[in-house]
Amino acid sequence: MRTITKTEVIPATEAEEVQHTMYGCDHCDFESDDQENVKHHHGEKHACKKTLVLNPDNPLSMKLYWFDSEDDAKAFLGAERGDFYLSAGVSWLEPGWYVKQWSEHPCARGCCRDGYLGLRTIESELWDMRYEAKRLMQKHAEIRKAIQEAAK
């Protein structure tokens, strides 16, 4: 993030100068007097280097995000988080493809729900998918066996 100092002359007095500190994006011409706005802009526009949608026509499609650094991944989550997600986290391993994960759970008082938004590597997501597929195949085999035994 660039720090830009601008000096303005106030037209009414023309003798008084005011300095403004502005912050600028390292990747484009975006500027703001609020550092958080520049961080949000970076997370929204530049942090994710590329995306890939697997099976876009399928309702169960998966969107992958490429990040070069943990800071970029955190900036992306900061921009994505919004007001709903109480917490966010990155399971950073190395530059590569990541997937978003989100969950909800009751708050500590039980009156509402808290949200979590995170990023995890595609490898850990695939590991969970393989585990779940294996579990489902075992369940499938158990059901088939029970049906066959009941038919006797």
pLDDT at 105 over 80: no
Cα 105 to Cα 44, 54, 87: the distances in Å are: 26, 28, 12
Does 92 or 117 have the greater pLDDT score? 92
CA angle 62, 63, 65 (to 5 degrees): 145
Chain mean pLDDT for the chain: 84
pLDDT (mean) for 97-104: 86
| DSSP 8-state assignment for residue 152 | -
Structure tokens at 80: 């994505």
CA angle 129, 135, 57 (to 5 degrees): 40
Among 14-18, 28-32, 88-92, 120-124, the range scoring the smallest mean pLDDT is 14-18
Q: Per-residue DSSP letters for 48-91?
A: --EEEEESTTSTT-EEEEEESSHHHHHHHHHHHHTTTEEEEEE-
pTM to 2 decimals? 0.69
